[in-house]
Structure 1
C-alpha cells in the first residue's frame, strides 16, 4: 500500500501545483498556461478521486487527507467551468426571431492547412453573413477569391507570420481600419458594418499572440491588447461585436478583465464551452475562439462547425438585434 500511496501523492502534488500556479500574479507562459486545461484537470482529479476511494485504506489518516485535497481540487476547478454549462443562468437571452439577424463565422484556418475546398464547403453550407479568417496569407487570399462574388465587401491583411486576417461580408462595410495595437505585424481589424435594416454596428476582429515558448514568453502583450480594446469599447453606444482567436480561455483572469472593462457579454455563459482548439486531439481542447457582444443583441444560435483540416474548429454565432434595442438605436445620431 505504501507504493500506492506514494503514487497518489505524486499525482496529487502535480495537480495541486497546476491548480495553484495560476493564482500567482505572474505573466510567464509557464504560469499562465495552467489557466487553459481546467477541463483536463477536472477529469484527472475526478479519476484520481475515484481510484483513491477504491484502492486506499480509508482507515488511515493519509488516505483521508489525499481524498480531501483531491476533492478540493476537483471542486475548485469545476467552479471555473460551471458558468459555461447548461446548469448556469444564461448571460444573454435566447431569441427565435430572424429579423435583423447576423451570422458570423470565426475561423482560424491554420496557415499551412491546404484544405481550402473543405473550408469553402463549410461557408456554402452554413452561409454566414460575415467571415473572419485568421492565419490567412496571400495563398489563402487567392484560394478564397471565389467567395468574393457573394461576399463583395472585404478587408484583406495577408501575412506569412501566422497573424494575417481577412474579413468577408455580405453586408456593407462602411468603414474599416487595420490597426496594430501592441505589436508590429499583429493586426486587428476595426470596422463599421451596415445591416440590411440600415442599422450600424461596430465590429472588431483580433488575434493577439499567445504566451508560449515559441511566441511571447509572457502574456503581457496579449493582455495589454485586450485591455486597450476593452477601454475603447466601454463608452460605445452603437452595438458592438468582438470576435477572433484571443489565444486565451473564457475563464481566465485576462478575459474576465476584458469583459468587465468593456461591459460586453459572453453568449456561451449558460450554454456551453464550445472548445475550438485543438481540433485534432479530442482529449486536449479548450475554447480559444471567442465572440463577445454588447447588450443590444440576443442569441439565435451558437454552433461549432465540423473539422476542415485546421487545428481550430470554426465557430458560427447567430445574433439578433433585439426589438427594444433597435428602437433605442434608431434615435441615436451616428
Structure 2
C-alpha cells in the first residue's frame, strides 16, 4: 500500500478515535447537571464501561500517534473524564477503605442473614430459585417482581419460613413483592409511597435473643421511557432513608434499588439514613444484567445502620433471572457503632430530599386515575 494512502487511513482513524473520545467524555460529565431527566441520569450507570472505553480509545489513539495542537482538546477532556470515573468508583475498589466493619464471630441470638432476589416476572424457573434458597438459606428472603405464578410457586417456602407476607400487584406484576422470615415479624405492612402500584415492605424483625431490627424492603420504579424523570425513584429511596433515620431500632434497607451505589441520590439516602454499604472497600458485586457484561451494575443492595456489623456479603449464582441475588449476614454487635462510622449528612441533603419528595408527591397527585 502506498505510503500516502496509509497516512490518510491513519489520519482518518485518529479523527474517528478523537471524535469517539470526545463523545464518551461529554456523556461522562452529563450526570453533573442537576436534573431528573432520565436520558441524562442514565449515564451515572455505565461508569465502568465508559472508563474502559475511554482507556481503550486512548490506547488506540496513542498507537496511531497522538494528535497535536487543537487535536489534543478531546484527549484532555477524555483524561479528565477518566479521572472523574475513577474517583467515583474508587470507594468500591477492593483496596479502598472498608466503611462497614466486619466481624468474624457473632452470637446466634443476634445474627440476621438477608437474601434479596429479583426473580424477573417473565422468568418461570421456580425450581431453580427454590434450590438456590435451599443452598443459601437466610433468615429473611425478600423476593421481587413476583406475580400470581410466583405467588403459587413460592408457597413451597412456607414450611421453612413460617412468617411471610406478600403482595401481587394487580396493575403491574413487575412490582410484586414477597418477604419470608424465620423470625417473628412485628407489624409488617406494605406501604405505597408515591403511587398505588409500587409497594415497599416495612416491618420489625424479632431476633432470637429478643432484640428487634427494622427492615425496609424496596423496589423503586425506574423511569419507563427516556422522557420520564427519575423523581419518583429518587424520592422512594430518600423517603425510605428518612424512615430508617426515624426508626426506633437499627434499620436495614434492602432490595433492587434500580440505582447504582455511586449515584448522588443513593449516596444522599445513605447519608440521611446513616447507612453503611458493604461494597465499600470490597468490590462492585455486580448483580444486573446477567449474561451481558456491557450493562452489568450493582443494583441489588443491602444497607444497614451502625449498630449492625457485617459478617459476610456475597453475590450468589444466577437462577434464570436477569438479576443475581445478594446475601448479607449481619450481626447486632454491641461494639459495632464503635468500630464503624456511617456517612454524615451534608448541609443541603435534607432540603434536597424534601424537595424531591414534594415533587414526587405532586406528580402522583397529577397522575390520571387507573380505570
TM-score interval, smaller chain: over 0.9
Match of 1:157 among 144, 149, 167: 167
The residue number in structure 1 matching 2:13 is 4
What do the CA deviations read for 1:22-53 (whole angstroms, capped 9, x no partner)? Answer: 11111111011001111100110111111111
Q: Cα gap change, 1:83/1:325 in structure 2, threshold over 3 Å: closer, same or farther?
A: closer
How does the TM-score come out when normalised to structure 2? Answer: 0.84
The residue number in structure 2 matching 1:51 is 60
How far the C-alpha of 1:16 sits from its partner, in A, is 1.8
Higher helix share: 2
Give the secondary structure class of the aligned counterpart of 2:123.
coil
- Structure 2 segments unaligned to the other structure (5+ residues): 1-9, 338-371
CA contact (8 A) 1:93 1:299 kept: yes
The residue number in structure 2 matching 1:193 is 205
Alignment of 1:93-242 (within 5 A): 93-99=101-107, 100-159=110-169, 161=172, 162-213=174-225, 217-242=228-253
Q: State how far apart, in whole Å, the 1-side matches of 2:97 and 2:248 are.
A: 26
Q: State how far apart, in whole Å, the 2-side matches of 1:36 and 1:237 are.
A: 34
Q: State how far apart, in whole Å, the 2-side matches of 1:195 and 1:57 are.
A: 62
CA contact (8 A) 1:212 1:218 kept: no
CA contact (8 A) 2:17 2:60 kept: no
Give the secondary structure class of the aligned counterpart of 1:283.
helix
How far the C-alpha of 1:63 sits from its partner, in A, is 5.3
Q: State how far apart, in whole Å, the 1-side matches of 2:244 and 2:138 are.
A: 25
Q: State how far apart, in whole Å, the 2-side matches of 1:61 and 1:261 are.
A: 47
Q: State how far apart, in whole Å, the 2-side matches of 1:239 and 1:67 are.
A: 48
How far the C-alpha of 1:325 sits from its partner, in A, is 5.7
- Structure 1 segments unaligned to the other structure (5+ residues): 327-334
How far the C-alpha of 1:317 sits from its partner, in A, is 0.7
Alignment of 1:245-324 (within 5 A): 245-324=256-335
The 4+ residue runs of structure 1 with deviation greater than 3 A are 62-67
CA contact (8 A) 1:33 1:211 kept: no
How far the C-alpha of 1:268 sits from its partner, in A, is 1.0
Q: State how far apart, in whole Å, the 1-side matches of 2:247 and 2:181 are.
A: 22
